Amino acid sequence: MKRFYFLFLSTLFFAPSFLFGATEIANSNLIYTWGYGDVMNEIMQAVKGITTETSYIVNAALAISLLLFSIKKAMDGQTNPVFEFGKMFILFAVVWQMFLRAPNDNSHRFMIHDEVTSKDYVISQIPIGIGKSFA
Instruction: List pLDDT tens digits, range 6-33.
Output: 666 666 666 555 555 555 677 788 899 9
Residue 84 lies in a domain: yes
Determine the residue type at 60.
A
Q: Residue 128: which of 70, 10, 47 has the closest Cα?
A: 47
Q: Is residue 7 part of a domain?
A: no
Mean pLDDT estimate for the chain: 83
Q: For the whole model, what pTM was predicted?
A: 0.68
Which range of residues forms the domain containing residue 97? 28-134
Is the pLDDT higher at 16 or at 127? 127
Q: How many domains in the chain?
A: 1
Q: Residue 15: what pLDDT?
A: 56
Residue 17 lies in a domain: no
Please report whether residue 20 resides in a domain: no
pLDDT at residue 22, as a whole number: 55
pLDDT of 107 above 70: yes
Q: Does the pLDDT at position 130 exceed 70?
A: yes
What pLDDT is attached to residue 122? Answer: 92
Indicate the SS3 state at residue 110.
strand
Closest by CA position to 108, among listed 116, 117, 119, 97? 97
Residue 110 lies in a domain: yes
Predicted local distance difference test score (pLDDT) of residue 105:
87
DSSP 8-state assignment for residue 101: -
Looking at residue 80, its pLDDT comes to 81
Structure letter (DSSP) for residue 100 = I
Q: Which of the pair, 53 or 14, is modelled with greater confidence?
A: 53
In whole angstroms, what is the distance from residue 110 CA to residue 29 CA? 5
Residue 47 and residue 99: Cα distance in Å, rounded? 10
Q: What is the mean pLDDT of residues 28-43?
A: 91
Lowest mean pLDDT among 7-16, 61-70, 115-124: 7-16
